[in-house]
Structure 1
Amino acid sequence: MASDHTRSAILAAAERLYADRGFGDVTLRDIVAEAGVNLAAVNYHFGSKDELIAELFVTRSFATNRERLRELKAAEEQGGGRAPIEVILHALVGPTLR
């Protein structure tokens, strides 16, 4: 498995497992089994479970913020430079809830 693919597989597996079971109930062994990689790969790419969680948070935050900005820009364009407060709130809160 290529290095980038391994890293992505670990992040995807961790996200799925944490969403299903929560941070406290998921071990690194659960994550590597789900990702189909060995335990050393987590240490190599992230250093620790805490660093993996931090990277997952940062990665997801960037994706959420990109979606917010996309929705805000679309609302602004549809409103000719202005958007109703309801649409703005939906753009800010919606990506987090999805």
Structure 2
Amino acid sequence: MFLNNINSNFLVLVPTINIKNKIVKKPLRNVISIALKNFFSNLNNSDLKNVYNYFLNEVEQPLLDVIMQHTRGNQTKAASLMGINRGTLRKKLKKYGMN
């Protein structure tokens, strides 16, 4: 299954309360966009390199953690759910000390 077929309304963070005390659910991509804008606005002219890898690592570790919890540690199911090879999953888990 491709992510393009998934309704992004399911990819929401925990509801937050906005200024008008109204509960708002934001699609995950919107929240990530806000976080990225905040990150770049607070760089203070730092000379960053490998930003792509930095952000992949920031997202990948909690993704792996939640998926492993969801599959109750079953690496075969987790790899299938992620659409990756089980060996690749094992490498990623080892990378983050989650094996």
Q: TM-score, normalised by structure 1?
A: 0.33
User: Structure 2 length normalisation: TM-score?
Assistant: 0.33
Q: Which has the larger radius of gyration?
A: 1
